[in-house]
Amino acid sequence: MKSVLIVVAGGTASGKTTVVDKISQRLKSKDVQVIRFDDYYKDLSNLSMEERAKVNFDHPDSLDNDLMYEQLRDLLDGKKIEKPLYDFKTHTRKKETEQIHPSKVIIVEGILALYDPRVRDIANIKIFVESDDDIRFIRRLRRDMTERGRSLESVIEQYLGTVKPMYYEFIKPTKRYADIIIPNDNNHEVAVDIVMAKVKEIINKKEETK
């Protein structure tokens, strides 16, 4: 199977997941696999909880880029993978993994999904999702407090200390590699239409060359 690889990047809480969900909804469930780059954070079980909380999770070095690239190559080569799963409450990898099978469309989503040139080179469609800084902060605040058990103070400290500066140093610059830039998440229909048209075009070309 020759898969179409779509990579979706953008700042924290910019609306990446919403875009990915809309693309997925247009495809048959058996034809799409979504991979969250967040699951490739490095395991920090060797550190104390206090030390883990101080790690800069918005820096490229916090992610296992080599494993991500290797597993994407395996999927594109028609091999199934055992994808890691990450526990954000403990900052460690879970013991269990998720088995992912090759599919017609593979979507990778994450803040630094477009950072690694190796991933960019094998991607068919590259997307960057933008949103206002204040809106992104409010969304992250709500998410981290309700879903990840973080305190208000810790979320604010992390955002000002690493999240915001790392966005401008490492994440936003990857926008220049995108084929499509979605400025906000108010209405994605036109952008999704363009993506779906391109997906169909790529699939048709791949089938013609079989």
> Considering the domain boundaries, does residue 205 fall inside one?
no
> Considering the domain boundaries, does residue 207 fall inside one?
no
Q: How confident is the model at residue 186 (pLDDT cuts 50, 70, 90)?
A: low
Number of domains in the chain: 1
> Considering the domain boundaries, does residue 29 fall inside one?
yes
Q: Are 94 and 38 in contact (CB under 8 A)?
A: no
pLDDT of 206 reads 74
CB half-sphere exposure, 35, CA atoms < 13 A: 29
pLDDT of 80 reads 96
φ and ψ at residue 158, rounded to 5 degrees: -65, -40
Look up the domain containing 58 and give its range: 4-195
> Considering the domain boundaries, does residue 103 fall inside one?
yes
> Considering the domain boundaries, does residue 208 fall inside one?
no
pLDDT digits (tens, 9 = 90+) for 108-137: 999 999 999 999 999 999 999 998 888 889
Residues in CB range of 151: below 8 A, 6 or more apart:
145
**Mean pLDDT confidence for 86-110:** 94
Q: How confident is the model at residue 190 (pLDDT cuts 50, 70, 90)?
A: confident
> Considering the domain boundaries, does residue 113 fall inside one?
yes
**Mean pLDDT confidence for 31-37:** 94
**Mean pLDDT confidence for 13-30:** 88
pLDDT(4) > 90:
yes
Specify the 3-state DSSP secondary structure of 100: strand
pLDDT of 158 reads 85
pLDDT of 185 reads 57
Higher pLDDT, 188 or 25: 25
pLDDT of 73 reads 97
> Considering the domain boundaries, does residue 156 fall inside one?
yes
pLDDT of 6 reads 97
Sign of the dihedral defined by the CA atoms of residues 23, 177, 171, 181, in that order: negative
pLDDT of 1 reads 57
pLDDT of 150 reads 84
Residues in CB range of 90: below 8 A, 6 or more apart:
45, 49, 52
Q: Are 115 and 12 in contact (CB under 8 A)?
A: no
Pairing mode of beta strands 4-10, 105-109? parallel
> Considering the domain boundaries, does residue 202 fall inside one?
no
pLDDT digits (tens, 9 = 90+) for 145-185: 888 778 899 889 888 989 999 999 999 999 999 999 988 65
The CATH number given to whatever domain includes residue 58 is 3.40.50.300
